[in-house]
Amino acid sequence: MFSTSKVLKDLQKLSSTPVDLPSAMSKERIEKMQSLNAGWKLSYATERVDEEVIQTLFQLAHDRNALDLMQQMQLGKCLNQIEGFTSEKKSVLHTATRDFFKDQLSSKEADSARRGAYEEVEKLERFVQLMEEREWSDIIQIGIGGSSLGPKAIYQSLRAHQKKPVRVHFLSNIDPDSASKILQEVHLETTLVISVSKSGTTLETCQNEERIRNAFASERIDPQGHFLAVTAKGSPMDNPAHYLAIFYIWDFIGGRFSATSMVGGVVLSLALGFDMYWKLLEGAQAMDRVARSSVNPKNLPLMGALLGIWNRNFLHHASLALIPYAEGLAGFPAHVQQLDMESNGKQIDRQGNFLDFPAGEILFGDVGTDCQHSFFQFLHQGCDIVPIAFIGVVKDQYGKDLELEGTSFQEKLLANLFAQMIALAQGQKSENPNQLFLGNRPSHLLLTEVLDPYRVGALLAYFEHKIAFQGFIWGVNSFDQEGVQLGKKLSNQMMDGFRCKKSMQSFSSPIIEACLDLTEDFL
Amino acid sequence: MFSTSKVLKDLQKLSSTPVDLPSAMSKERIEKMQSLNAGWKLSYATERVDEEVIQTLFQLAHDRNALDLMQQMQLGKCLNQIEGFTSEKKSVLHTATRDFFKDQLSSKEADSARRGAYEEVEKLERFVQLMEEREWSDIIQIGIGGSSLGPKAIYQSLRAHQKKPVRVHFLSNIDPDSASKILQEVHLETTLVISVSKSGTTLETCQNEERIRNAFASERIDPQGHFLAVTAKGSPMDNPAHYLAIFYIWDFIGGRFSATSMVGGVVLSLALGFDMYWKLLEGAQAMDRVARSSVNPKNLPLMGALLGIWNRNFLHHASLALIPYAEGLAGFPAHVQQLDMESNGKQIDRQGNFLDFPAGEILFGDVGTDCQHSFFQFLHQGCDIVPIAFIGVVKDQYGKDLELEGTSFQEKLLANLFAQMIALAQGQKSENPNQLFLGNRPSHLLLTEVLDPYRVGALLAYFEHKIAFQGFIWGVNSFDQEGVQLGKKLSNQMMDGFRCKKSMQSFSSPIIEACLDLTEDFL
C-alpha cells in the first residue's frame, strides 16, 4: 500500500519542514526551477519544494511504476478495471487517436486502435472537403460531459483563428431551456447537428436530438442532410438511415479523454478546418511522447502530478485552483475539473481496497485577471491554502493589442499573473493583521508563446497525463465512473414517479412521493 | 471568542453523532424539514441535522447576535471595519438600494441612502424612456468583479424574458483578446457602452474603456452619445463631458453586493426593461425583510448560514458546491463564489485577532444535469465530502418544453435533481466496493416555481444575507477585501518591469527580472 512505503516516510519527514518561500524566493530559484517541453514551460519555483523533495518525489514515481504504467496505458494494456470484482475491463487508448506522428508506439492493441482511428480521420478529412460546398450558419454539437466539455474548451481556445462565420453551439443539458435558447438563435435551414454519444443511449443527448429533430419537422425542413452521429459501432445511433454520416469511437476511449477522437474532431474540423484539428493531434501526440519519456523535470505531466501529490498528501491541501490568464482558455477549468474529479474522485484502489489516504482533489477555476476581483481574497488570506496551477500565454491571439501608458494589455495581463504568484509565495509582513500575508501559498505556472492548435493539443494531453499519473501513483482506477450510476438509477425511478403522479397511480416509494410533492404549494 | 462558548461545546457534542441519513430518510422527514418564504422553498431533510441540532444552531445565532447585526447592517451602522487598526470604516447599505417597498427601515443613514438610491432609480427610469427611441444592437458593460458577475448572472437568468433583440456583452478582463472578440461581434454605430467602476480608477475597466473609445475613433464614430458611466460622485469618471449620462453609487455599497444598485440597474433596465429591474428590487427587498425577521426556519438566509456553519465547523467539510438545475442560473455559481469567498475568505476577526477555527469555504459549481456527467463522481465517491446547495425551478422559462416517453424535459430535469439528493444522502450498500455508496453526503435544496425577476431578486438577496450571517457568526468583517491589495501593488511593479525591459533600463528587483525572463526562450 501507498502509505507504508519507505519513500512515503521520507516525504512525510521532508514535509515537516517544507521550503519557506518568503525567504527562499530568488532570481536563481526561478531560473533553476523551470523546464521546457512540447512548447510549454513549467515554472515551479513558487511550489514549496527543493531539489531533495523533487528527487524523493521521483523516487515515489519509480516505486509506483508510474512511467511503466503510462507506457502500458499507451500500449493498450487493460488498465481500466478493479481486480477481483465486477468492473469495467478494458484498455485506455485515447492516445491512439493521435499517434500518427513521430515515434509511434507499437503493440497489437495500439496498432489496431491507431488504424481504426486513422480511418476515421481520413473519412473526416474527405467529409470536411465535401461540406466545403455547403454554407452552414450554425453547428450544434449535442453531447454531455466528455462529449461537450473538451470539444468546447478546445473550440473556444482556437476560435480566434476561425475564418468561416459559422456559429457553434453546444447543447448538453436536459433542461428544456437549453435547447429552447439555441433554437431561438439558429437558422435550421443552414444548421448542421452533430449528435455525440458512445453508447447511443445517453438520456440528455438522445432526448435533445429528438427535440431538435422535432424542431426541423415543425419548420417542415427535411432533417436528412443535417444530422451527423459520433458513436460506437453497433450502438442504437449507428444507423445510416438517420444520419448524413456516422463517425466511430470505441469502448477504449473514455468520454472525458475523448476530445481528440471524433468526439472533438468532427466539430473542430467543420468549424475551424481539418488542418487545425490535425495540428491539435500533433501537439497532443508530442505531449504523449513526453509523458512516457523519463522520470525527470522534462516530463511535464509527471512533474505536475508529483507537485500535486506533494501538496495533496504531504502538505494536506485538498483542492487546486486552475487559473488561465488567457480568455481563450476559459473553457479549460471546466474540462480539467471533469478530467480530474471524475478520474480520481475515488475511494478504492485498483484491488478494491478502501484508500487510507486521500486521492483526488476539488478542482475549480476561472480566468485571470477576472478572478483576482472575485475569489482571490480567499487565496491570499483565507483559512485554507489552495494551491494554484496558473497558465500563461506570452502573445495575444487576435493581434489587436494596444499600448497604453507604456505597456500593452498583454504585458499588463502577464504582470498581473506574475504578481499573483510572487505575492502568494512571498507574502507581506505587517503590524496590521488585516494587511498581513503569510505567504507560502504554493503555485506553479505553465507558460507558452501563443495559443495555436499544436500548443493547445499539448496542453490538453498534459492534463490528461497529469491526472493519469496521479491515478497510477495513488493506485486508483482513473478510468471508470461507477459513482454516477446510483444517481442514474434513482433518476429513472423519479421519472416513473412523475408518470405515476400524472396518471394518479400510487407511488412505489414514499420518499419519491415526498420529493415530487415539494414541487407544489408555493403560497 | 467563538470557540469557547457553551453552545459551541453543545454543537461539538452533537456533531460526534450526527444524523445517519441512510436510516433517517423518510417521507415525513422531507415533509417536515422544509420552509417557504419570499417565493422560495428550502428543503433541508438531506442535511445531517435533527431538531436538536437546529435549535442549538439557533442558540448559536442568538449568542452571536446574528439577527441584531443583520438589522444594524440594514440600518447603516458602521460594520465594515477592523476595530483598533487602520481599515475601512463604513456602513454596508446595499439593502438601501431596494428598500422601496413594504416595511421600510428607518434610520438617518438608511433613509439618506434610500433617498439617494431612489433618485438614481428615477433618473434611470426617465433615461430608459429616452433611450426607447434609439435602436441599440449591442450593449457592452465594462466592469470587473462585482461590476460584472452579479449583473451578468441576473441578466442570464432573465434573458428568456427579453423582448428586444439587443445583444449584451460583458467586458471585464485586461486580456486584450477579451475586447478583441467583442469588437469583432458588435456594430459600434449602434452600440451603447456602460462603464462601471466605483473608484473610477479600476485598471481593467479604465483600460478597456479607453480601448473601446479608440475603436470608435478608428471607425470615425463620435463616441458622444454612446458612453454611460456608473461611478461614485467625484471620481475621475464623474465627468459629464465624457458621458451621455452618469449614474451614481456610493462608498457604502461593496462591489460584490452592488448588483441591485445602478451597477446592475442600468444594464438590466436597458436590456430587459425598467419594469423587470423594479420587480427584481421588490424580490430582493422581500428577502431583506425575511433576513431581519426572526430566528426560525422561516428565515431562509439564516437557515442557509447555519447549515453551512454546521457542515464547515462541526462536520469539517471545507467546501460547498452550488448546483442550479436551471440553465438560466448558470451565472450564479460564479457570482456566489465571489460573494462567499471574497467576503468570508478571511483570517482575522473584527478585532484583528487570528481566527482559531476556519471561516469561509471553497465554493464552486455548475448547472445540473451537466455536472452529473462531470464532477459528480467525486461528490458521490470521492475521499472528501462536499456539501451541496441545489437550486431547482418547477417550470421552464421559454415555455417550449416537450413531452417524450411520458415525461417532459422539465420533469426529467427535476427527477435528476431529486435523485442526486437522495442518492447522496442514502447511499447504496454493495458487496462490490466500487458500487458501494456510503451516503451521508449532505445537501439542501432551494426550490421555486419559475424564474421571474421577483424570485431572482429574492435568490440574489438570499445569498447576500446567508454570507453576511456567516460573517456575523464567525465574527469576521465580510465587507472588505484587503487580501487583493498586495497583488495590485506587485502588479504595478511588474508593469514597471516591462517598461524597464523595453527601455533597456536595469530592473528594480531580480525576482521581477526573472519572472519577465520566463517569457523568452521557448526553443
Tell me whether the CATH fold assigned to A2-63+294-478 matches the one assigned to A92-282: yes
Which residues of chain B lie closer than 8 angstroms to A345, CB-CB? Answer: 375, 377-379, 381-383
Q: Do B341 and A255 touch (CB under 8 A)?
A: no
Identity of residue A521 = D
In whole angstroms, give the CA distance from residue A347 to residue B432: 12
Structural contact between residues A24 and A17, judged by C-beta atoms closer than 8 angstroms: no
Phi, psi dihedrals of residue A282, rounded to the nearest 5°? -65, -40
Report phi then psi at A311, rounded to 5.
Answer: -70, -40
Question: Of B442, B330, B306, whose CA–CA distance to B386 is shortest?
Answer: B442
- Report the alpha-carbon distance of residue B78 to residue B89 in Å, rounded: 7
Residue in this structure with the C-alpha cell 445510416, named with its chain if needed: A240
Query: B138: helix, coil or strand?
Result: strand
Query: Residue B324 forms beta bridges with which residues?
Result: B391
Q: What is the pLDDT of residue B387?
A: 98
Secondary structure of chain A: what % helix, strand, coil (to 5)? 50, 15, 35
Whether residue B377 and residue A346 make contact (CB cut-off 8 A), yes or no, is: yes
Q: How many residue contacts between A and B have a Cβ separation below 8 Å?
A: 492
Are A177 and B407 in contact (CB < 8 Å)? Answer: no
CB half-sphere exposure, A133, CA atoms < 13 A: 4
Residue B317 per-residue DSSP state: -
Please write the tens of the pLDDT for every residue from B88-98.
Answer: 999 999 999 99
CB B516 within 8 A of CB B498: yes
Res B73 pLDDT > 80:
yes
Is position B373 annotated as part of the catalytic site?
yes
Q: Which residues contact B252 (CB under 8 A, 6 or more apart)?
A: B76, B90, B91, B92, B93, B94, B96, B109, B113
Which residue among A120, A327, A342, A464 is the active-site one? A342
Q: pLDDT tier at A367 (50, 70, 90 boundaries)?
A: very high
Closest A-chain CA to B447: A519
* pLDDT at A481 exceeding the cut of 70: yes
pLDDT in tens, B444-465: 999 999 999 999 999 999 999 9
A514 CB neighbours in chain B (<8 A) are: 26-28, 30-31
Q: Mind telling me how many Å the CA of A17 is from chain B's nearest CA?
A: 22
> pLDDT grade, residue A224 (50/70/90)?
confident
Kindly report the CATH number that applies to the domain delimited by B2-63+293-480.
3.40.50.10490
State the residue for C-alpha cell 459513482.
A483
- Alpha-carbon distance of A445 to A387, in angstroms, equals 11
- Residues from chain A contacting residue B381 (CB–CB below 8 Å): 345-347, 482-483
Q: Is B509 exposed, middle or buried (0-12, 13-18, 19+ CB in 10 A)?
A: middle
Residue B410, pLDDT > 60, answer yes
Q: Is the pLDDT of residue B1 over 60?
A: no
Q: Would you call B325 helix, strand, or coil by DSSP?
A: strand
Radius of gyration of chain A (CA): 24
CA distance B94 to chain A (A): 18
Q: Which of B163, B488, B489, B502 is catalytic?
A: B488
DSSP-derived secondary structure for B43-88: E-TTSS--HHHHHHHHHHHHHTTHHHHHHHHHHT-EEEE-TTSS--
Residues facing residue A201 across a β-bridge: none
C-alpha cell read off for B466: 446567508
User: What does the DSSP assignment read for A230-283?
Assistant: EEETTSTT--TTT-SEEEEE-TTS-GGG-TTSHHHHHHHHHHH-HHHHHHHHHH
A16 exposed, middle or buried (CB, 10 Å; 0-12, 13-18, 19+)? exposed
Q: How far apart are CA A468 and CA A477, in angstroms?
A: 9
Provide the pLDDT for residue A2.
61
Strands B319-325 and B388-393: parallel
Contacts of A427 in chain B (CB under 8 A): 486
Residue A69: what pLDDT?
98
* Cell of residue A136, nine digits: 452552414
Residue numbers in B near A475 (CB within 8 A):
none
Decide if A488 is catalytic: yes
Paired residues of B253 in beta bridges: none
Chain A: closest CA distance from residue B406 (Å): 6
Show me where the domains of chain B are located.
2-63+293-480, 91-282, 485-517
Which residues from A are below 8 Å from B423, CB to CB?
A: 486-487, 490
Tens-digit pLDDT profile for residues A33-88: 999 999 999 999 999 999 999 999 999 999 999 999 999 999 999 999 999 999 99
Nearest to A451 by CA among A336, A346, A326, A301: A326
- Count other C-beta atoms under 10 Å from residue A242's C-beta: 16
Distance CA B91, CA B510 (A): 42
B1 versus A386: which is more confidently predicted?
Answer: A386
Q: Mark yes or no for CB contact B382/A178 under 8 Å.
A: no
* Nearest Cα residue in chain A from B510: A27
Query: B294-305: per-residue pLDDT in tens?
Result: 999 999 999 999
Q: Taking the model in full, what pTM does it have? A: 0.98
Cis, bond preceding A369 (omega within 30 deg of 0): yes
Q: Which of A27, A108, A163, A488 is flagged as catalytic? A: A488
pLDDT tens for each residue of B376-406: 999 999 999 999 999 999 999 999 999 999 9
Q: Whose CA is closest to A64, among A512, A475, A477, A514?
A: A475
Q: Where are the alpha helices (DSSP H) in A395-452?
A: 409-426
Å from A372 to nearest chain B CA?
Answer: 7
User: What is the pLDDT of chain A when averaged over all its residues?
Assistant: 96
Give the closest of A27, A378, A481 to B514, CB-based.
A27
Of B237, B255, B210, B226, give the one whose Cα is nearest residue B481.
Answer: B255
Percent of residues, chain A, with pLDDT higher than 70: 99
Instruction: Give the pLDDT band of residue B287 (cuts 50, 70, 90).
Output: very high
Q: What percent of chain B has pLDDT over 90?
A: 96
User: Per the CB < 8 Å rule, is B378 touching A420?
Assistant: no
To the nearest whole Å, the CA of B447 is away from the closest chain A CA by: 8
What CATH number labels A2-63+294-478?
A: 3.40.50.10490
Task: List CB contacts (< 8 A) between B420 and chain A.
Answer: 487, 490-491
CB atoms within 10 A of CB A214: 15
Catalytic-residue membership of B108: no
The DSSP element (H or E) to which B418 belongs, if any, is: helix B409-426
CATH superfamily of A92-282: Glucose-6-phosphate isomerase like protein; domain 1 (3.40.50.10490)
ipTM over 0.95: yes
Min distance B155 CA to chain A CA atoms (Å): 14
CB contact under 8 A, A510 and B415: no
| Region A433-457 average pLDDT | 97
Residue A125 in 3-state DSSP? helix
Kindly report the CATH class assigned to B91-282.
alpha beta
In this complex, do B41 and A160 lie within 8 Å of one another by their Cβ atoms?
A: no
Q: Which residues pair with A34 in a beta bridge?
A: A43
Q: How far apart are CA B465 and CA B37, in angstroms?
A: 14
| Mutation site for B-interface testing, chosen from A377, A437, A479 by largest number of B Cβ within 10 Å | A377
Percent of chain A with pLDDT over 90: 96
B24 has a pLDDT exceeding 80:
yes
| Mutation to test the A interface, candidates B175, B482, B489, most A Cβ within 10 Å | B175
Closest partner CB to A366 (pick from B31, B82, B334)? B334
Residue A504 confidence (pLDDT): 84
Minimum distance, in Å, between the CA of residue B126 and any CA atom of chain A: 31
Query: Inter-chain contact B334–A211, Cβ cutoff 8 Å?
Result: no
* Phi and psi, residue B34, nearest 5°: -150, 160
* Inter-chain touch B377–A498, beta carbons under 8 Å: no
- Residue B298: predicted pLDDT: 98
Give the Å distances, CA to CA, from B475 to A407, B1, B75, B360, B410.
42, 8, 19, 11, 42
Name the catalytic one among B120, B209, B327, B342: B342
Q: DSSP string covering A472-492, please?
A: HHHT--TT--GGGHHHHHHHH
**Residue of chain A whose alpha carbon sits nearest to that of B210:** A404
Q: What is the DSSP code string of A177-209?
A: HHHHHHHHH--GGGEEEEEE-SSS--HHHHHHH
**Cα separation of A520 and A506, whole Å?**
17
Contact B419 A518 (CB under 8 A): no
Q: Cell numbers at residue A234, please? A: 453497433
